[in-house]
Chain A
């Protein structure tokens, strides 16, 4: 019976996959361009994004509150040596911090924001050791043999720090690590995950983490899952907006927006002399007809412009190019032959539009 279910599921999955592939091949595929959307000014977009009215505020709040009844169970599981892994749609930042501040008061709690890039994991571990040390000191018991030599934690090696956190002590001191987005950009690499797994397996550490990416479990191998993290999964969708988590992700309509840059390019070019505009057009047309090349070699450009009587000397061309470069209309690249090539950093569609506007 169970096998059948599994088979059906698998069949459904592959069916969907091939249907989707088919849809792509068929004539139905749309060729509309992103640039056809009349995107508002980037600043306006960002401002609007910060003012989005939340939907279902009441229900979301109720949902959050409904998880409060599970807090004692979560704390119990944590205390039994399991790690808590929260998943489900919606930001779990507020939920986890609320849980930690209401139910984990007997532990010191460190929060790691995994959604931020460039986290220095060693600093985190050193901070954990520092907190444990404080806690041990305040209990006025022998904090352990290795800690007699008081070397600052920040200058100790990772192995030393982990050994300190894992030392066998009779007293029950715990430091809890709450990791938002353990699958986030700052923690995603395998080396960091290995360190986190080792931290989680330390006897004085308990770990609560959240994941948002559907493929997050692929970060861990069996050893990490079964013996180090010891995850106990909890499905806690919150439907709270990913405000902080999405903070650093560029808005799709603002990022690399062709309309915006084409627009600003038109404005710049219109302020230049007609000769300069024509030089730009020569460059643009070359780029459109040779879209596979790195760009137009400077010598080529000079030759074509001279033919059309647009420039009389290399010097005048250079002055035009300097102008273009200053306004980021043109970039220089070196091609495989070692020649300097000029390239307009716009997509072909945007460039076509721009040239059409210049010709009017």
Chain B
């Protein structure tokens, strides 16, 4: 077998693959890459979408390429934004670590007089970086970034993971990895002296050498101990500084390492941000501020939130879910390519390229029947409006978040609620008149209606924010208004009101007079804020929140042409993200007729029929057994069902002109017995492959064990 697979590199060309032989090879080359045109965003020219020139297949291909380009553009935007956000969050800690590294290095290299005792000189400077997160998967990137950060500040850095500290490879594994990273070469015999001589070379000497160990708790204790002892022995020649990630508490090293090794460490503590903080920052940057124009519908948002909270609580899982949502949006939504164009041309001359609009309208006509009636609406206008409304929505969500921060409201919860089309429609239906007018009336009223208008379950978080604003102390309110002032700068209607409130607050505080002059100069047509006179400044702010939600916060799904930017198919996302193999494979077997859509078996209910696939029969029969299935009984019941159609065979025998001799009949019976046994064996084998039964043990030769109980 090994021989056959070894020669796989020069296996036969794809035209004549020897299937049976391939099935027995460990691996083989199916085909080599053809020289076909690929969807390459950079190399390909921008496509001409004019429909007359293109054949349908070519057109479809081009569309897909456009969407691929759009995806790459959008996702790289989201990806880099999220990375930047996380990097910024870590920046402070990274800077602290860097200055500590520098200080430690200087202490190491400057030889004091008189020389300290040997014990002190052999100590390693060690940073314990508390990650505050048991899910280490989120911190891989952090440690990579830390490595890059320190490298960019002139340190020699090597990143080691817990795999490098496996008992199998021992200390040689760590050393090999170190040499690989510092010297960029692999050595047959890894030795610390190679590293020491490398460090003494011109150019290397004089910079700190940092070794980062990702997840200290997962390392093999003895190997890590040996590693630390070795480094401390060589510290005079190569002053290594250690950084170790600790997921639990500060006493983790003492749990893993023996005391003689602990003595070799001179620890210092650093702490990273918590997962919840990071999550909020990521949601803000990627979904609320919409760095790249991609948006998700409410159901998807709720799913993403629940996935984060219930499934595994890691940012990495959330990140993957978002990526899959993005991929699915571009792979299934024909109009999604426009998002790419929108982003690409945003900076230059606007996105209303004639060709693109024409092409998009074509696609609109062809691909989306439900949208077809809307094609008379100029799509360029739609896009501009979409962008504007999104921007307003995002400003308001951020305002609400800012207000909710002191009440520990999570952005993710708020985000899901602000995307709810029901809230918008229920509030909007109360306002048949134009926005401007309603805004004026609402603002001048003395009551806040929001809580009444929103049912308890629907707008819980928003109502909480309103209540928070009402109870906010003056100093915090002042801060809040300041932040609103910044956030709403692109929404003049709200911005003005915020300014007015700020002025009122100053006035009430007695620090200065209300300064309406600036506002009235800019908007002469508008009278100064007429918020109910009896209201306190908090009440006024709460009314402003009410108005923001009521008149400006339009969820993406309530905006025309949202299909271009918004992904809503939550079922598709869920099935791609969480494949429930345990349940689905059983359902496949028990309800196979729903998938195969055959007419013969669909009426059976739970009663197995001989026309059903053998494995389905066997598995349906298994449902009647306890956790142990007696093979003999199982076979007998299978035989009863499987031999049902054999009556047909008997009929045939009777019809045949010459009466068969007894021996022949016996033989055919024997044959059918053999085939039933073989079918039973095959079905058991298939169940064994799916892992739904455990095979007989030596003790219990007569029964197999059921593994799954219920779906």
CB-based contact B319/A76 at 8 Å: no
Interface size of A by CB at 8 A reads 121
B33 contacts which chain A residues (CB < 8 A)?
105-108, 135, 173-175
Q: Identify which of B273-281, B439-447, B504-512, B590-598 touches chain A.
A: B590-598
A-contacting residues of B (Cβ < 8 Å)?
1-2, 5-6, 8-9, 14, 22-36, 38-40, 43, 64, 67-68, 71, 75, 135-137, 140, 163, 180, 186, 306, 312, 314, 316-317, 319-320, 323-324, 327-328, 330-332, 575-579, 581-582, 584-586, 588-589, 592, 595-598, 611-615, 625-628, 630-633, 635-636, 670-671, 673-675, 677-682, 684-686, 688-692, 695-696, 701-702, 704, 706-711
CA distance A196 to B105 in the complex (A): 39
Q: A40-B674, A235-B584 are in contact. List 4 more A-B contacts (CB 8 A).
A: A79-B39, A217-B579, A222-B317, A254-B681
Select from chain B the residue with minimum beta-carbon distance to A3.
B310
CB-based contact A56/B596 at 8 Å: yes
Q: Does A308 contact B (CB under 8 A)?
A: no
CB-based contact A109/B27 at 8 Å: no
Per-residue contact bits, chain A 118-143, to B (CB 8 Å; 1 contact, 0 not): 11100110010011001100100000
B581 contacts which chain A residues (CB < 8 A)?
87, 211, 213-217
Our pick among B24, B64, B626, B708 for the contact of A72 (Cβ within 8 Å) is: B64
Interface of A is mostly: mixed
Measured between C-beta atoms, what is the minimum distance from A193 to chain B in Å? Answer: 12
Asked, given contacts A72-B64, A215-B582, whether A116 binds B678 with beta carbons under 8 Å apart, the answer is no
Asked, given contacts A82-B327, A88-B584, whether A172 binds B26 with beta carbons under 8 Å apart, the answer is no
CB-based contact A88/B585 at 8 Å: yes
Measured between C-beta atoms, what is the minimum distance from A44 to chain B in Å? Answer: 5
Q: Does A59 contact B (CB under 8 A)?
A: yes
Q: Does A253 contact B (CB under 8 A)?
A: yes
CB-based contact A134/B30 at 8 Å: no
Asked, given contacts A40-B673, A108-B29, A186-B26, whether A30 binds B691 with beta carbons under 8 Å apart, the answer is no
Measured between C-beta atoms, what is the minimum distance from B338 to chain A in Å? Answer: 17
Q: Does A22 contact B (CB under 8 A)?
A: yes
CA distance A23 to B630 in the complex (A): 12
CB-based contact A101/B14 at 8 Å: yes
Asked, given contacts A235-B575, A252-B684, A258-B701, whether A108 binds B31 with beta carbons under 8 Å apart, the answer is yes
CB-based contact B1/A116 at 8 Å: yes
A45 contacts which chain B residues (CB < 8 A)?
674, 677-678, 681
CB-based contact A124/B26 at 8 Å: yes
10 A-B pairs with the lowest CB-CB distances in the bound complex, closest first: A233-B579, A23-B626, A16-B710, A48-B678, A89-B588, A32-B632, A251-B681, A24-B626, A213-B691, A49-B678
Q: Does A321 contact B (CB under 8 A)?
A: no
CB-based contact A242/B686 at 8 Å: yes
CB-based contact B575/A233 at 8 Å: yes
A249 contacts which chain B residues (CB < 8 A)?
685, 688-689
CB-based contact A123/B5 at 8 Å: yes
A55 contacts which chain B residues (CB < 8 A)?
611-614
**Sample of 24 A–B contacts (CB below 8 Å):** A2-B306, A16-B710, A40-B674, A49-B678, A62-B597, A63-B595, A76-B68, A80-B75, A87-B579, A108-B31, A109-B31, A111-B22, A112-B27, A123-B26, A127-B29, A172-B43, A212-B690, A217-B579, A225-B320, A227-B137, A230-B323, A233-B579, A239-B588, A246-B682
Our pick among A21, A76, A214 for the contact of B331 (Cβ within 8 Å) is: A76
Interface residues of A in 1-17 (CB under 8 A from B): 2, 12-13, 15-17
A173 contacts which chain B residues (CB < 8 A)?
33
CB-based contact A111/B30 at 8 Å: yes
B324 contacts which chain A residues (CB < 8 A)?
82, 232
Interface of B is mostly: helix
Residue from B32, B328, B706 having most chain A Cβ neighbours under 10 A = B32
Select from chain B the residue with minimum beta-carbon distance to A234.
B576
A29 contacts which chain B residues (CB < 8 A)?
626, 628, 630
CA distance A63 to B711 in the complex (A): 23
CA distance A134 to B8 in the complex (A): 14
CA distance A239 to B1 in the complex (A): 29
Select from chain A the residue with minimum beta-carbon distance to B629.
A30
B140 contacts which chain A residues (CB < 8 A)?
223, 227
Measured between C-beta atoms, what is the minimum distance from B253 to chain A in Å? Answer: 23
Asked, given contacts A131-B29, A252-B681, whether A226 binds B628 with beta carbons under 8 Å apart, the answer is no
B709 contacts which chain A residues (CB < 8 A)?
13, 16-17, 19-20
Asked, given contacts A106-B38, A252-B631, whether A119 binds B584 with beta carbons under 8 Å apart, the answer is no
Measured between C-beta atoms, what is the minimum distance from B408 to chain A in Å? Answer: 22
Select from chain B the residue with minimum beta-carbon distance to A227.
B316
B671 contacts which chain A residues (CB < 8 A)?
48
CB-based contact B680/A253 at 8 Å: yes
Asked, given contacts A40-B674, A89-B588, A113-B25, whether A52 binds B679 with beta carbons under 8 Å apart, the answer is yes
A234 contacts which chain B residues (CB < 8 A)?
576, 579
Q: Does A202 contact B (CB under 8 A)?
A: no
A358 contacts which chain B residues (CB < 8 A)?
none
CA distance A12 to B708 in the complex (A): 12
B-contacting residues of A (Cβ < 8 Å)?
2, 12-13, 15-17, 19-24, 29-34, 36-40, 44-49, 51-52, 55-56, 59-60, 62-63, 72-73, 76-77, 79-82, 85, 87-90, 93, 97, 100-101, 105-113, 116, 118-120, 123-124, 127, 130-131, 134-135, 138, 154, 157, 159-160, 172-175, 178, 186, 194, 211-217, 221-223, 225-227, 230-235, 237, 239, 241-242, 244-247, 249, 251-254, 256, 258, 347
Measured between C-beta atoms, what is the minimum distance from A145 to chain B in Å? Answer: 10
Asked, given contacts A32-B630, A217-B579, whether A124 binds B27 with beta carbons under 8 Å apart, the answer is yes
Measured between C-beta atoms, what is the minimum distance from B597 to chain A in Å? Answer: 6
CB-based contact B39/A32 at 8 Å: no
B588 contacts which chain A residues (CB < 8 A)?
88-90, 237, 239
CB-based contact B596/A63 at 8 Å: yes
CB-based contact B32/A108 at 8 Å: yes
CB-based contact B689/A106 at 8 Å: no
Measured between C-beta atoms, what is the minimum distance from A214 to chain B in Å? Answer: 4
Our pick among A73, A135, A211, A244 for the contact of B32 (Cβ within 8 Å) is: A135
B584 contacts which chain A residues (CB < 8 A)?
87-88, 235, 237
Residue from A134, A215, A258 having most chain B Cβ neighbours under 10 A = A215
Select from chain B the residue with minimum beta-carbon distance to A118.
B1
Asked, given contacts A79-B68, A105-B31, A105-B34, whether A245 binds B327 with beta carbons under 8 Å apart, the answer is no
Our pick among A40, A63, A233 for the contact of B576 (Cβ within 8 Å) is: A233
Asked, given contacts A40-B673, A239-B592, whether A110 binds B30 with beta carbons under 8 Å apart, the answer is yes
CB-based contact A239/B627 at 8 Å: no
CB-based contact B710/A17 at 8 Å: yes
Our pick among B319, B684, B689, B710 for the contact of A226 (Cβ within 8 Å) is: B319
CB-based contact B613/A127 at 8 Å: no
Asked, given contacts A123-B6, A131-B9, A222-B317, whether A212 binds B689 with beta carbons under 8 Å apart, the answer is yes
Measured between C-beta atoms, what is the minimum distance from A90 to chain B in Å? Answer: 8
Select from chain B the residue with minimum beta-carbon distance to A18.
B709
CA distance A274 to B613 in the complex (A): 51
Select from chain A the residue with minimum beta-carbon distance to B673.
A40
A154 contacts which chain B residues (CB < 8 A)?
6
Measured between C-beta atoms, what is the minimum distance from B101 to chain A in Å? Answer: 27
Residue from A55, A118, A130, A242 having most chain B Cβ neighbours under 10 A = A55
A23 contacts which chain B residues (CB < 8 A)?
625-627
CA distance A46 to B711 in the complex (A): 33
Residue from A178, A217, A225, A233 having most chain B Cβ neighbours under 10 A = A233
CB-based contact B137/A116 at 8 Å: no
A215 contacts which chain B residues (CB < 8 A)?
581-582, 691
CB-based contact A101/B579 at 8 Å: no
B25 contacts which chain A residues (CB < 8 A)?
113
CA distance A161 to B583 in the complex (A): 38
CB-based contact B26/A239 at 8 Å: no
CB-based contact B626/A32 at 8 Å: no
Asked, given contacts A217-B581, A233-B577, whether A36 binds B632 with beta carbons under 8 Å apart, the answer is yes
CB-based contact A246/B686 at 8 Å: yes
CA distance A186 to B631 in the complex (A): 28
